[in-house]
Amino acid sequence: MNNAAVTLSNVGKTYNKNLVVDNLSLTIEQGEIFGLLGPNGAGKSTTIRMLITLSEPNKGKIEVAGYDVSRHRNLVKRSIGVVLQQISVDGELSVWENLEFHGRMHHIANPERQKRINLWLEYVGLSDRRNSLVKTLSGGMKRRLQIARALLHEPNILFLDEPTVGLDPQTRRRLWSIIQDLNRKGMTIIITSHYMDEVEFLCERSGNGKPGRIGIMDTGKLIGLGTLEQFRTQYGKAIALQQTGDQLESQFFPDTKAANTYLESLNDKSGVMIRDSNLEDIFVELTGHQLN
């Protein structure tokens, strides 16, 4: 076993003769918070499915928590928690029954099982709803229940697929706080999201004090990897935006001073805006796509 949380070595995946993941190599360290981004069809969902043992690579090797996903699937499953975009808790059962069932599936014996159920319900703020049917919960409560369930067997690595999609801003922030706290406790967090501000916020303010890295995929390949600050240093910390017809044209600059110097040099400054660059600017520059 190695010390990395996740290692992909020359991984390839083909569906119906279409290459979906193309010779992907990547290492995610223990305790890291890692954002995986890509436009639709980039291969990120397929990559996550392989990491959580729902799909097998056609070539290459994947290790999660030090275990080969093809040879030690059950050991991988014990080491990971997964919160998928789709609501996957049973609406006809109570909050407690959902966790009780999950605990039994993982062979957690009593009284430890009840201790953990109580602990994680308290952690996600659902103790007062333990006897409520899940179908009576709000979307945010269901997502928090999914997180509690994913944590019940005390995994080392937590996979979050679009964890806050469809939630109101206040609930999103509450989930961000939970994610940061789990990372602070040493848990490796791997997140995919269509919300750029979410990945930017969580990776810049990781719980372990170090900025988290962001991987950007397109057409099955990893085309960018680094922290937001590394990306901004590489491409430019300031950007000039100008609307031309229905196109928004952009130009990066090393800093705001250089961008303003450019602005001053223009005869026609109308419609030109200078601001700090952000993750979405980097993403569009790398992929040519808006993330939607």
Find tokens 């954002």 and name the residue. Answer: 35
Kindly state whether residues 127 and 43 are assigned to the same domain: yes
pLDDT tier at 1 (50, 70, 90 boundaries)? very low
Kindly state whether residues 155 and 260 are assigned to the same domain: no
Could you report the per-residue pLDDT of 210-249, keeping only the tens digit for each? 899 999 999 999 999 999 999 999 999 999 998 887 888 8
Could you report the per-residue pLDDT of 151-199, keeping only the tens digit for each? 999 999 999 998 888 888 888 898 899 999 999 999 999 999 888 999 9
Has residue 137 been placed in a domain?
yes
Range 270-288 average pLDDT: 92
Q: How far apart are CA 23 and CA 8, in angstroms?
A: 9
Kindly state whether residues 204 and 247 are assigned to the same domain: no
Kindly state whether residues 102 and 133 are assigned to the same domain: yes
Q: What is the pLDDT of residue 290?
A: 59
Q: Is 69 in contact with 78 (CB distance < 8 Å)?
A: no
Q: What is the pLDDT of residue 128?
A: 97
Kindly state whether residues 81 and 177 are assigned to the same domain: yes
Q: Is the pLDDT of residue 111 over 60?
A: yes
Q: Is the pLDDT of residue 87 over 90?
A: no
List C-alpha distances in Å: 256 to 104, 198, 274, 276: 57, 24, 7, 7
Has residue 135 been placed in a domain?
yes
Q: How far apart are CA 6 and CA 3, in angstroms?
A: 9
pLDDT tier at 206 (50, 70, 90 boundaries)? confident
Has residue 283 been placed in a domain?
no
Has residue 286 been placed in a domain?
no
Q: Is the pLDDT of residue 123 over 50?
A: yes
Kindly state whether residues 153 and 264 are assigned to the same domain: no
Has residue 258 been placed in a domain?
yes
DSSP 91-105: TTSBHHHHHHHHHHH
Number of structural domains in the chain: 2
Kindly state whether residues 70 and 104 are assigned to the same domain: yes
Kindly state whether residues 140 and 167 are assigned to the same domain: yes
Q: Is the pLDDT of residue 88 over 80?
A: yes
Q: Is the pLDDT of residue 292 over 60?
A: no
Q: How far apart are CA 237 and CA 228, in angstroms?
A: 10
For residue 182, the one-letter residue type is L
Q: What is the pLDDT of residue 167?
A: 85
Q: What average pLDDT does the chain have?
A: 92
Could you report the per-residue pLDDT of 55-82, keeping only the tens digit for each? 999 999 999 999 999 999 999 999 999 9
Q: What is the pLDDT of residue 289?
A: 66
From the CA atom positions of the chain, what is the Rg in Å? 21
Q: How far apart are CA 18 and CA 28, in angstroms?
A: 27
Angle among Cα 118, 203, 188 to the nearest 5 degrees reads 45
Q: How far apart are CA 150 and CA 156, in angstroms?
A: 11
For 271, the domain range is 237-276
Has residue 284 been placed in a domain?
no
Kindly state whether residues 189 and 261 are assigned to the same domain: no
Kindly state whether residues 256 and 219 are assigned to the same domain: no
Kindly state whether residues 212 and 269 are assigned to the same domain: no
Q: Is 61 in contact with 11 (CB distance < 8 Å)?
A: yes
